[in-house]
Structure 1
Amino acid sequence: MSDFDVDLFVIGGGSGGVRAARIAAGYGAKVMLAEEYRVGGTCVIRGCVPKKLMVYAGRFADEFEDAAGFGWTVEKPRFDWATLKRRRDAEVTRLEGIYDTNLIRAGVEIAPERAVIEDPHTVRLLTSGRTIRAERILVAVGAHPVKEPAVPGIGLAITSNEVFELESLPERILVIGGGYIAVEFAGVFAALGSATTLLHRGAGLLRGFDDEVRDALAEAYSHRMDLRLGRTLTGIERRDGALCARLDDGSEIRVDQVLIATGRKPNVAGLGLDRVGIEVDAAGAIPVDAYSQTKVPSIYAVGDVTNRANLTPVAIREGHAFADTVYGGKPTCVDHHLIPTAVFSTPEIGVVGHSEAVARELYGTIDVYKARFRPMKATLSGRDERILMKVIVACATDRVVGVHIVGHDAGEVIQAVGIAVTMGATKADFDRTIAVHPTAAEELVTLRVPEVTKHPVGVG
């Protein structure tokens, strides 16, 4: 008889935890999973999936406007927030049901309550009071949005959790932040008709992205909304039925909602890590090794709670790799250095590999191939729109080490490009690929002359 009730206990029913539980069960492990809110996690319930549906909704505004240039007569469209909310929420519920069903079919027992760690092999379910002995424990509890800066009145603001609960479209909204979440929600509300202000303390949006990508987005957003860079929030107060946000330059912005999207922190509070001697790092994350194992051999962690690369596909890959390693006999590490990613702003952004600045530091001499052009669709629609495509090549090896796209369907394009870059494609490989014409993406394989050869710092 085993000393354990289950082989694996997973705390957290988000993307990483669900994948790990299902794959481990497929290898024959007895698995139990606890989720205190809704199975599906941030991405499915109140993150990328419902947000992407809102992005789609907002982009119809441009489509209706562009149709006239192609001969269509469209009556002035009207947007109904309640309809979008109802249908979006129904789709989230449908997906949640699929996640539940897939776990049950795999043989995973689901406990719809909060679980905490008691010792290296024991978890306690807080609602039922049950204790479960597990050979291994996997922590996959994700992260939560924080309200920063901690200025007076910050409690009047909402986060990316509460934004999905809004019963009406705000006429005026202030979005604070400069990362993925802030940029995407600012784009959504501006497209749906809200008078939108995007406030960020930095000099540019999307820190860590290629500078030309950042500049292209800022230029586009400056025409779609009130973009205020280099400014900070100093306070919020309710005044005459509205929210009045004060800035560090003494100005005030009157809005109906303030959305704080300045960062997220791992969900480690009250988890019981202290009971087993696991100390979180400066960011509040659980330290793990390349196989997602903590300093306690029986306890592992994947996803945003480890703060390695806070993206849903990364959490899924980490969860799968954990199950392959521990239960499948296939030791697997996840490469966190080359991750294709997209920002669902409007215009959309797709990136894989290094920015120009980082590539210069890593590889010395690089070639930069670049194209800026007006997409074919804009020639008839009349929209003032530009696409940016940028390919960065390490001269010593001819390898493509960075691809950056700003424009329609950049996320879709970068997924395919990511395969080539991950495989180590060279510029010669790109060059000998026949273009698909007429498409915007063909520019990636027709760029022949580098804009300029970039040398290491200090080299003439």
Structure 2
Amino acid sequence: MTPAQQDSPADGPAPSARRHDLVVVGAGTGNALVDDRFAHLDVAVVAEGPFGGTCLNTGCIPSKMLAVTADVADAVRDAGRHDADATLHRLRWPDVQRRVFGRLDAVSGKEEDRRRSSPFVTVHRGTARFTGARRLCVETAEGPLDVTGRRVVLAAGGRPTVPPAVADSGLPYETSDTVMRTPVPPAHLAVLGGGYIAAELAHVFHAAGSRITIIEQREQLLTDQDEDVSAAFTRAVESRYDLRLGRELTRVEGAPGALRLVLDDGAVVAADTLLVAVGRRPNTDRLAVEKGGIACTDEGLVRVDGQMRTSAEGVWALGDIVTGVPLKHVANREADVVAHNLLHPGTPRTMSYDAVPSGVFTRPQIAKVGLTEQDARAQGIDHQVAVHRYEDVAYGWALENTEGFCKILAERSTGRLLGAHLIGPQAAALLQPLVLAMAIGMTAHEAARRQLWIHPALTEVVENTLLGLRTE
């Protein structure tokens, strides 16, 4: 028996099969883990969607480029609070789209070209499903192709969830994958969902001139945030949006461009466009992972250990498809761990999900790390809380901001930082010193006193919140 036969799955590859040392399923973060350190291997990237994945094409980057544009438009509208007379004529939506997607589509195309020209990478374009251990059938434009790998990295991501009331209606709807490329901002955009995707895209289209209605089952928006932040955000947007909270969508009626959304209380929302933003689901159901011996949770997330290994020998996984935290910066770190462990199996690294920060780029901006106050109560942790408002520091005066605040939780007996939450301008940037402090184990007192804080920068709101925590 030859070495190649020894490494083959039990049933053996078909004569037309392609064999590789490493097969990466997914052209987003999975593709990004392959660099020149892998040049001694025969690597394949199996790509269904555009290179760059969700983040580059339909997620983090375009939504934030659009959110910054919305921030600029809102700043013009709000100029009066700074005694400046300004009027927003219009937001040139087609020009905005050309600027955003003209740039991002070019980046995606160049990355695919770079991969195709690589001497050690083969690109298989098509949809993949497992047919056995480390063996895939890739449906390409030229027909099915059997692909096997000595090792496989599964990074196939996820997609928007669409509830049956929408999917079964036969009427058109948008998701985060499609709505940012709509040629004209809707006159009236109904948003189904109250999470971060809903909040960010509502902000974008409100700035573009759309009337916004948000339909959310829970009584507040952004309920995965700290309870005080969730309440503050809901109050902040209730004058801008039509909020239908504590309500469920039961059916969609009408016609394209003239939708009627029937709610569980009998109310009807008339809108020309429906954006479904109720969450995302992993793509495992499209991959026949069970045939590859890959165990998943009931929600379809791939189970991985600390080294990002799946239950199948020689198969790793990362990103939105696994049981970690579905954020791009987390996926990047997971990719670092997987790449190291592929190259250095004798000295493996372990992924840590301690002190994972996140941001919501809406208006007002939101950022968090660690436990919420409701988490701390549920876990029975004896904790203390400090809150400091933007309006109580000098730069907050300059901003004329009356709604922003910083909230920090610490263990009462030791001052150990448990969680931090900001709502207001620059929240995501202001959070970072707290992420660092938590990551290296600084107490609240140490984080406040072992560094100087620029006066009168907005970071003083973080400093003063830390100083409000006392070790008892």
- Alignment TM-score, normalising by the size of structure 2: 0.88
- Aligned position for 2:61: 49
Q: Please state how far the C-alpha of 1:379 moved relative to its aligned partner.
A: 4.9
Match of 1:293 among 271, 294, 309: 309
- Aligned position for 1:457: none
Q: Please state how far the C-alpha of 1:390 moved relative to its aligned partner.
A: 0.8
Q: Please state how far the C-alpha of 1:210 moved relative to its aligned partner.
A: 0.9
Q: Please state how far the C-alpha of 1:207 moved relative to its aligned partner.
A: 2.7
In 2 relative to 1, CA 117–76 (structure 1 residues): closer, same or farther, beyond 3 Å? closer
- How many equivalent pairs are there? 451
1:131 aligns with 2:139: no
1:142 aligns with 2:157: yes
1:120 aligns with 2:133: yes
Match of 1:162 among 178, 181, 198: 178
Decide which moves more: 324-333 or 68-77. Answer: 68-77
- Aligned position for 1:283: 299
Describe the superposition over 1:50-93 as per-residue Cα deviations: whole angstroms up to 9, x where unpaired: 11111111111222134455565435421111111111111211
Q: Is the 8 A contact 1:25 1:108 kept in 2?
A: no
Instruction: After TM superposition, list the pairs within 5 Å mapping 1:112-261 onto structure 2.
Output: 112-127=125-140, 128=142, 129-150=144-165, 153=169, 155-238=171-254, 241-261=257-277
Q: Structure 2 stretches of 5 or more lacking a match?
A: 8-18
- Aligned position for 1:10: 24
Describe the superposition over 1:261-287 as per-residue Cα deviations: whole angstroms up to 9, x where unpaired: 112111123423232333432101222
Decide which moves more: 370-379 or 439-448. Answer: 370-379
Decide which moves more: 154-163 or 306-315. Answer: 154-163
- Aligned position for 1:439: 457
In 2 relative to 1, CA 76–162 (structure 1 residues): closer, same or farther, beyond 3 Å? closer
CA distance in structure 1 between the aligned counterparts of 2:335 and 2:136, rounded to whole angstroms: 19
Match of 1:426 among 431, 443, 461: 443
- 1:122 is aligned with what amino acid? R
CA distance in structure 2 between the aligned counterparts of 1:295 and 1:448, rounded to whole angstroms: 43
Q: Is the 8 A contact 1:176 1:199 kept in 2?
A: yes
- Aligned position for 1:458: none
Q: Is the 8 A contact 1:143 1:304 kept in 2?
A: yes
Q: Please state how far the C-alpha of 1:211 moved relative to its aligned partner.
A: 0.4
Q: Is the 8 A contact 2:77 2:87 kept in 1?
A: no
- Aligned position for 1:306: 322
CA distance in structure 1 between the aligned counterparts of 2:196 and 2:319, rounded to whole angstroms: 17
1:318 aligns with 2:334: yes
Q: Please state how far the C-alpha of 1:105 moved relative to its aligned partner.
A: 5.5
CA distance in structure 2 between the aligned counterparts of 1:240 and 1:98, rounded to whole angstroms: 36
- Alignment TM-score, normalising by the size of structure 1: 0.90
In 2 relative to 1, CA 272–387 (structure 1 residues): closer, same or farther, beyond 3 Å? same
Q: Is the 8 A contact 1:365 1:453 kept in 2?
A: no
CA distance in structure 1 between the aligned counterparts of 2:316 and 2:322, rounded to whole angstroms: 10
SS in 1 for 2:165: coil
In 2 relative to 1, CA 51–284 (structure 1 residues): closer, same or farther, beyond 3 Å? same
CA distance in structure 1 between the aligned counterparts of 2:37 and 2:131, rounded to whole angstroms: 23
Q: Structure 1 stretches of 5 or more lacking a match?
A: 455-460
In 2 relative to 1, CA 442–50 (structure 1 residues): closer, same or farther, beyond 3 Å? same
- 2:463 is aligned with what amino acid? V
Root mean square deviation of aligned Cα: 2.6
Describe the superposition over 1:125-178 as per-residue Cα deviations: whole angstroms up to 9, x where unpaired: 321433333111111110111211535627432211121231100011110112
Describe the superposition over 1:361-404 as per-residue Cα deviations: whole angstroms up to 9, x where unpaired: 4463212111123376775776x642110111112221111111
What percentage of residue pairs aligned between the two structures are identical?
29
CA distance in structure 1 between the aligned counterparts of 2:342 and 2:256, rounded to whole angstroms: 59
In 2 relative to 1, CA 171–362 (structure 1 residues): closer, same or farther, beyond 3 Å? same
Q: Is the 8 A contact 1:38 1:45 kept in 2?
A: yes
- Aligned position for 1:338: 355
CA distance in structure 1 between the aligned counterparts of 2:334 and 2:376, rounded to whole angstroms: 26
Instruction: After TM superposition, list the pairs within 5 Å mapping 1:68-79 onto structure 2.
Output: 68-70=80-82, 72-79=84-91
SS in 2 for 1:168: coil
In 2 relative to 1, CA 343–319 (structure 1 residues): closer, same or farther, beyond 3 Å? same
CA distance in structure 1 between the aligned counterparts of 2:119 and 2:389, rounded to whole angstroms: 49
Q: Is the 8 A contact 2:126 2:139 kept in 1?
A: yes
In 2 relative to 1, CA 94–72 (structure 1 residues): closer, same or farther, beyond 3 Å? farther
Q: Please state how far the C-alpha of 1:354 moved relative to its aligned partner.
A: 0.8
CA distance in structure 2 between the aligned counterparts of 1:308 and 1:155, rounded to whole angstroms: 34
- Aligned position for 2:95: 83
In 2 relative to 1, CA 245–376 (structure 1 residues): closer, same or farther, beyond 3 Å? farther
Describe the superposition over 1:187-218 as per-residue Cα deviations: whole angstroms up to 9, x where unpaired: 22222221101111012222332100111111
Decide which moves more: 367-376 or 188-197. Answer: 367-376
Q: Which has the higher contact order (CA 8 A, sep 6+)?
A: 1
Q: Is the 8 A contact 2:389 2:461 kept in 1?
A: no
CA distance in structure 2 between the aligned counterparts of 1:270 and 1:360, rounded to whole angstroms: 39
Q: Is the 8 A contact 1:367 1:450 kept in 2?
A: no
Q: Is the 8 A contact 2:295 2:311 kept in 1?
A: no
